[in-house]
């Protein structure tokens, strides 16, 4: 599922709150806050895409995520690797480790994650 930048921003608030009313979403935005009609339009688009659902409570809608953040992040990253690194996770890892400012501790943590993954696959 592809989300626009505005949709992603709103989804981050919905993922954070888990269940939320439009008023609370408006309050969560920094200044300048979007218009209520703009927010309603984005909520409708997200609902049409199947990213969110809602429950009616009187005249109010309580929104909740259907799309899990982990699933969206994974799909987004896989698409980025496909687009910018010819589908090669190794090229992405090389770019990441060579072009990011990582501390020794972070590099060791990455190496431990890879070692754990390799050890689990042997079993």
| Whether pLDDT at 123 is above 80 | no
Phi first, then psi, for residue 4 (nearest 5°) are: -75, 170
Give dist(CA 3, CA 21) in Å, integer: 21
**106-114 CB contacts, 8 Å cutoff, 24+ apart:** none
pLDDT at 122: 74
Please identify which residue in the block is written with the tokens 């770019």: 95
| Whether pLDDT at 41 is above 80 | yes
pLDDT tens, 65-118? 999 999 999 999 999 999 999 999 999 989 988 888 989 999 999 999 999 989
Q: Which residues, 6+ apart, have CB-to-CB distance to 62 below 8 Å?
A: 19, 20, 21, 54, 55, 56
Give the domain 5-65 fold: Arc Repressor Mutant, subunit A (1.10.10)
């Amino acid at each position: 599922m592809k989300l626009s930048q505005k949709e992603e921003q709103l989804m981050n608030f919905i993922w954070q709150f888990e269940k939320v009313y439009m008023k609370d979403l408006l309050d969560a935005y920094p200044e300048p806050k979007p218009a209520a009609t703009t927010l309603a339009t984005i909520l409708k688009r997200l609902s049409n895409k199947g990213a969110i659902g809602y429950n009616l409570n009187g005249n109010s809608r309580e929104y909740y995520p259907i799309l899990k953040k982990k699933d969206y992040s994974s799909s987004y990253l896989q698409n980025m690797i496909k687009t910018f690194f010819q589908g090669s996770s190794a090229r992405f890892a090389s770019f990441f480790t060579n072009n990011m400012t990582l501390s020794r501790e972070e590099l060791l943590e990455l190496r431990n994650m890879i070692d754990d993954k390799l050890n689990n696959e042997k079993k």
